[in-house]
Amino acid sequence: MISRFIQKSIEAKMDDNKAIIIFGARQTGKTTLLNILFSNNENVLWLNGDDPDTLALFENSNSTRLKTIFSTHKIVVIDEAQRIVDIGLKMKLITDQIKDVKMVVTGSSSFELANKVNEPLTGRKWEYQMYPISFAEMSDYHGFLEENRLLPHRLVYGYYPEVVNAVGNEKEVLKQLADSYLYKDVLVWQNIKKSDKLIKLMQALAFQLGNEVSYVELGNVVGLDNQTVEKYVQLLEQSFIIFRLSAFSRNHRKELKKAKKIYFYDNGIRNALIANFNLFELRNDKGALWENFLISERMKYRSYNNLWANTYFWRTQDQQEIDYIEERDGKLFAYEFKWNAKRKSRISKTFTRTYPDYEFQVVNPENYESFIMGA
């Protein structure tokens, strides 16, 4: 199962001369998407950046050689393209000088691929980010009522395609994904050898889910200096395992300005890292899992529906807080997340006095579908 949103958008852009770049963590379905799009097309040249033959093919290639190789194909597909040296320049040569060839590439680590293609391909590319399956896509697949019934299960095991399809074996699949394969790119890049430290850091982040994080405190727990912790966090983010949310601050002197929270793209990966697959109803981290689920699903919804927004949380020194804020078209949209629908929540008066142009909503299991699927 793959993202129909991305599939339809890519199909609509196959007739122009821009390259298509698909980012996303390993095992999110990028290769499956390529097969759905192009497996029955005889004009496609298939390459894989993890294959030594592909690496050798691009090594020291000039425009003449690239024309010889690619000019007989209408579409060139390169999976895991971040492995190829100077892939951005090679794609620029192909895009500029072989007019009838469409480039479609994927990458599981933005620190390797994005940095290589952004400058060479300025104005010559379409970019997409692929996530684990979304709640909306599963609702389309077998109906909202069925997916809503499975919500407690999804809050524990998440939405990686292989996990969703492995009914009864979710735990084993997640353990494999959470092993070094998922963060393979992080270990390879810069030849990081202390994988035990990286695992401890991810576990520490998993336990801090929904709370503010301090690189200094994380470093003390893991045994790394705070600069190394910050670098590892950035690499994990660029490998689409975690993402950061910054504090919103504009006017009030008591607002936390440099604070940050870290979330996981997928609940299942987070739970695998701390080896906790207890039933959702029995857990003491329900609130953190609910918050992570809602923010990650909202990210998918915004990405697939081209809803542009700056995203934050808000907190003051005296512990007034708002779980999540979107800034769209000059207006603030504030959200509080409550798993218990009976619990009331009021927005901070400090916030409303400081930022009068806002909308506020409490998101709970009785109304969450509008937040992650649209009205």
Residues of the chain with CATH 3.40.50.300: 4-130
Close Cβ partners of 358 (under 8 Å, ≥ 6 residues apart): 331, 332, 333, 334, 347, 351, 352
Average pLDDT over residues 34-44: 88
pLDDT: which is higher, 59 or 311: 311
- Alpha-carbon distance of 219 to 367, in angstroms, equals 39
Question: Does the structure show a pLDDT above 90 at 25?
Answer: no
Amino acid present at 170: E
Q: Are strands 102-107 and 19-24 parallel, antiparallel or unpaired?
A: parallel
Q: What is the pLDDT of residue 107?
A: 85
Q: What is the pLDDT of residue 154?
A: 98
Average pLDDT over residues 23-38: 89
Question: Does the structure show a pLDDT above 90 at 114?
Answer: no
pLDDT: which is higher, 65 or 46: 46
- Alpha-carbon distance of 260 to 210, in angstroms, equals 10
Q: What is the pLDDT of residue 192?
A: 66
Q: Are 131 and 300 spatial neighbours (Cβ–Cβ below 8 Å)?
A: yes
Question: Does the structure show a pLDDT above 80 at 132?
Answer: yes
- Alpha-carbon distance of 212 to 217, in angstroms, equals 11
Question: Does the structure show a pLDDT above 60 at 1?
Answer: no
Average pLDDT over residues 48-66: 83
DSSP E strands in 134-211: the ranges are none
Q: How many CA atoms lie within 13 A of 52 on its CB side?
A: 0
Q: What is the pLDDT of residue 276?
A: 96
Query: Where does the pLDDT of residue 59 fall: very low under 50, low under 70, confident under 90, or very high at 90 and above?
Result: confident
Average pLDDT, the chain: 88
Query: Where does the pLDDT of residue 119 fall: very low under 50, low under 70, confident under 90, or very high at 90 and above?
Result: low
Report percent pLDDT > 90 for the chain. Answer: 50
Question: Does the structure show a pLDDT above 90 at 167?
Answer: yes
Q: What is the pLDDT of residue 346?
A: 87
36 to each of 16, 18, 259, how far by Cα in Å?
20, 20, 42
Query: Where does the pLDDT of residue 41 fall: very low under 50, low under 70, confident under 90, or very high at 90 and above?
Result: confident
Query: Where does the pLDDT of residue 169 fall: very low under 50, low under 70, confident under 90, or very high at 90 and above?
Result: very high
pLDDT: which is higher, 258 or 289: 289
CATH class, 4-130 region: alpha beta
141 to each of 3, 65, 112, 357, how far by Cα in Å?
11, 45, 34, 38
Q: What is the pLDDT of residue 71?
A: 80
Q: What is the pLDDT of residue 84?
A: 84
Helical (H) or strand (E) element with 354:
helix 349-354
pLDDT, one tens digit per residue, over 173-207 is: 999 888 866 666 677 665 666 678 888 999 999 99
pLDDT: which is higher, 191 or 288: 288
Q: Are 73 and 45 spatial neighbours (Cβ–Cβ below 8 Å)?
A: yes
pLDDT: which is higher, 267 or 354: 267
- Alpha-carbon distance of 34 to 108, in angstroms, equals 14
Q: Are 314 and 325 spatial neighbours (Cβ–Cβ below 8 Å)?
A: yes
pLDDT: which is higher, 265 or 110: 265
